[in-house]
Amino acid sequence: MSLMSVELRGTFLPVTTPFDPVTGEVDLVALRANLRHWMRHPLAGVLVGGSTGESVLLDESEMISMLEAARDVLPEGGVLIAGTGAESTRATVRRTRAAAEAGADAVLVKPPAYYKGGMTPEALARHYRAVADASSVPVVVYQVPLRLSTLDLPTGLVAELSHHPNIVGIKDSRAKLELIGELVDQCEQGFQVLVGAGSVLYGALELGATGGIVGVGLMAPAEAAEVSVAFSEGRKADAGRAQERIEPVHTKIVGGMGVPGIKAALDILGLHGGVPRPPLVPASDARVEEIRGVLETAGLLETARA
């Protein structure tokens, strides 16, 4: 086990997975193009294989090829996080080791949730410790959005895990600032709390979070990056203005429509969105027009591809 650390400070993007419209295979050329566009902004890094990246629909070999592609494109200092959580501890360890070999700086591990009734705090603690013990890179706990098929992790469990030397943080996507405050207060000093909802990024920073992994940043990278950068530089009014601009985009597209909505938005903005992988279905024509209106109201169409 390595006691390497990783700084999770700033705004990170949970990147989408572009698929070839004919073959349905992962389109690595499109992924690299998207990454080059996004990383022209002062972002801290990216997450490959998160909920927004359709992680549960990807093969393990696809994840590795995406990580290798991202590693090649990320600028020096850009942090590469890999989503490696699986239902078994064994598979999570295997995926974590493979991700580290492919160049990941840290791994994000969602809780196993299928046997929900058996996932007691004790079982989850054993799972996370085993993964962290076996990992050569730092582990970040993932509190998945509760609208998805998942568990609600007790603050006490996360606080207990925060004492493990190789469990360095949490991404909490519940979008509840009181829970972010609990985590900041109760976890080990130096444990990094990241928010997963762009609607509460500024508020979370105010409470002591180190940053966020936010899907809204895929559509508004400059603004999402500015929330963290301006806040860290003491320009709180600027950070607040950037937050106000991204909040409705998060609420209506990320929160309201999920992956199909985000991918449609990327297409509108001139990036590589494309269709989600079945059984997810693409956004309807009516939804696409609604998305266009949200982006226009936020002033994001003028800056598309700028």
Query: How wide is the angle at C-alpha 171 spanned by C-alphas 166 and 175, nearest 5°?
Result: 155
- Give the Cα separation of 133 and 190 in Å (integer): 19
Residue 152: closest CA among 167, 132, 125, 173: 173
- Give the Cα separation of 212 and 108 in Å (integer): 13
Residue 264 is inside which H or E element, if any?
helix 256-268
Residue 79 is inside which H or E element, if any?
strand 79-83
How many CB atoms within 10 Å of residue 168? 24
Contact by Cβ (8 Å): 45, 81: yes
CA distance readout (Å), 281 to 34, 37, 284: 22, 26, 9
- Give the Cα separation of 255 and 249 in Å (integer): 9
The contacts of residue 77 (CB under 8 Å, 6+ apart) are none
Question: Does 116 participate in catalysis according to the annotation?
Answer: no
Which one of the listed residues 110, 171, 252, 263 is annotated catalytic?
171
Catalytic center residues: 171
